[in-house]
């Protein structure tokens, strides 16, 4: 019998994005990854932006994603914890993913401990990035009142608008690259947080779409998980060490 002791971390699949050569094939590939890791997974952490856009109306959820939602429900039904963190593209959750798929939802950073190792987990948006434009947009997207107004518009208008916004933003920003230890705001955030919480061993983020494994202390590292657009990457903690990997079938 395989010992189920591993913890898996993945972020930024952006399912539904036009940046995928074939978004449905990316979804199938993610399902194959879930089939592989469920063999020895104790828990799976999805650290945000799994969907390029997600909005839950009272009686309506976005079209599509049946493969991955079914697979996540299957994994959860096996008794494996599946944790879903909101990102900046899939903020607007209520209870659909928890009730229908059995996932544990996270709306804030989360601290966990396994085998004496302490983890700080978050998508990463809003942490360390103090640019006025970003802070303004983030405040808008997290406004409950604006969410209520948005929900009053028919989905045939809001869904295309959301995807157009996402694609325009990504086309103008281009594919992000590593800025260096002194400029990556998630690294700077982790270093500052480490002063407050010196017992954190791993800071694990998504959001930046880069693969990074950087020591920031004698026993502390920053892990940025890459994405499922360019890298098809993830991290795994085997009970002793954490490793950043790409999915090989």
pLDDT in tens, 157-204: 666 665 666 665 555 445 678 889 999 999 999 999 999 999 999 999
Binned at pLDDT 50, 70 and 90, residue 1 comes out as very low
Query: Smallest Cα–Cα separation from 80: which of 37, 47, 112?
Result: 37
Per the rule left: phi > 0, alpha: psi between -120 and 50, beta: everything else, 203 is beta
Length of the chain: 249
Written out in words, the top-level CATH class of the domain with range 6-246 is alpha beta
Longest distance between any two alpha carbons in the chain, whole Å: 53
Mean pLDDT value across residues 33-41? 97
Q: How far apart are CA 118 and CA 95, in angstroms?
A: 28
pLDDT at 147: 61
Contact between 72 and 34 (Cβ < 8 Å): yes
Annotate 85-119 with b (16+ C-beta within 10 A) or e (fewer): bbbbbbbbbeebbeeebbbeebeebeeeeeeebbb
Is 18 a residue whose pLDDT tops 90? no
Binned at pLDDT 50, 70 and 90, residue 206 comes out as very high
The pair of structure tokens assigned to 215 is: 């020591």
Up-side HSE of residue 191: CA atoms within 13 Å toward CB? 11
The pair of structure tokens assigned to 127 is: 């942490």
Binned at pLDDT 50, 70 and 90, residue 56 comes out as confident
Query: Smallest Cα–Cα separation from 170: which of 13, 15, 18?
Result: 18
Q: How far apart are CA 242 and CA 203, in angstroms?
A: 11
The mean predicted confidence, pLDDT, of the chain is 86
Query: Smallest Cα–Cα separation from 242: which of 148, 138, 118?
Result: 118
Contact between 179 and 210 (Cβ < 8 Å): no
Lowest mean pLDDT among 118-127, 129-138, 215-224: 129-138
């Amino acid at each position: 019998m395989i010992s189920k002791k591993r913890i898996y971390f993945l972020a930024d699949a952006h399912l539904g994005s036009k940046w995928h050569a074939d978004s449905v094939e990316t979804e199938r590939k993610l399902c194959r990854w879930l089939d592989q890791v469920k063999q020895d997974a104790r828990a799976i952490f999805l650290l945000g932006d799994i969907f390029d856009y997600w909005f839950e109306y009272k009686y309506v959820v976005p079209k599509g994603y049946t493969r991955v939602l079914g697979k996540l429900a299957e994994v959860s039904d096996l008794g494996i914890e599946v944790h879903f963190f909101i990102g900046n593209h899939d903020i607007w959750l209520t209870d659909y993913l928890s009730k229908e798929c059995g996932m544990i939802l996270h709306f804030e950073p989360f601290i966990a401990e396994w085998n004496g190792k302490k983890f700080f987990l978050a998508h990463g948006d809003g942490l360390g990035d103090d640019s006025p434009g970003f802070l303004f947009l983030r405040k808008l997207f997290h406004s409950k009142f604006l969410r209520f107004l948005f929900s009053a518009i028919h989905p045939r208008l809001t869904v295309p608008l959301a995807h157009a916004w996402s694609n325009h933003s990504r086309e103008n920003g281009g594919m992000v690259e590593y800025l260096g230890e002194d400029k990556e705001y998630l690294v700077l955030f982790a270093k500052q947080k480490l002063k407050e919480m010196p017992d954190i061993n791993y800071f694990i983020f998504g959001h930046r779409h880069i693969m990074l494994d950087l020591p920031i202390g004698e026993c502390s590292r920053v892990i940025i998980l890459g994405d499922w657009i360019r890298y098809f990457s993830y991290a795994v903690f085997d009970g002793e060490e954490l490793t950043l990997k790409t999915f090989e079938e």
